[in-house]
Amino acid sequence: MQPKDMTKNEAFKGFTNTSCPFLPCHKGVQREFNCLFCYCPLIAYECPGPYEVFTDKNGVTRKDCSACTLPHDGYHQSWNFVQRWLEYPVPWSGNPQTEPPTRRPKPHGDDDLEG
């Protein structure tokens, strides 16, 4: 097996499950539909996506990500998006998305958020 940073084969960055009965599960995807992040790695973290907030039957506050295409729009683009946002993950506050959307966390200081 090649180390990930040495291979020219980038197939690990995404795929489309054309057999899935729910495809396309998010409207508005313009590039290859990336199914790799079917369960978005940012679900428990702050993110820039256009999510809605709801309370499930157990009383837990959750994100409804139906309108978000960020982890699905293009194999390379969605891979890079998720990697960048997981560099300094900040646990989700449970609050609704802001306008403008949450900025990408940076490593130092209290005002360490960047777009």
Q: Whose CB is nearest to ligand SF4?
A: 49
For the bound state, the minimum distance from the C-beta of residue 67 to ligand SF4, rounded and expressed in Å, comes to 8
Closest CA to 69 of 57, 77, 61: 77
Q: List contacts with ligand SF4 (CB under 6 A).
A: 40, 42-43, 47, 49, 51, 63, 65, 68, 70-71
Element (H, E) at 83: helix 75-85
Of 7 and 20, nearer to ligand SF4 (C-beta) is: 20
Of 7 and 83, nearer to ligand SF4 (C-beta) is: 83
DSSP-derived pairing of the beta strands 113-114 and 104-105: antiparallel
Of 12 and 96, nearer to ligand SF4 (C-beta) is: 96
Q: Is 43 exposed, middle or buried (0-12, 13-18, 19+ CB in 10 A)?
A: middle
Of 7 and 87, nearer to ligand SF4 (C-beta) is: 87
> Phi-psi bin for 77: left (phi > 0), alpha (psi -120 to 50), beta?
alpha
For the bound state, the minimum distance from the C-beta of residue 24 to ligand SF4, rounded and expressed in Å, comes to 14
For the bound state, the minimum distance from the C-beta of residue 47 to ligand SF4, rounded and expressed in Å, comes to 3
For the bound state, the minimum distance from the C-beta of residue 68 to ligand SF4, rounded and expressed in Å, comes to 3
Closest CA to 98 of 61, 45, 50, 42: 50
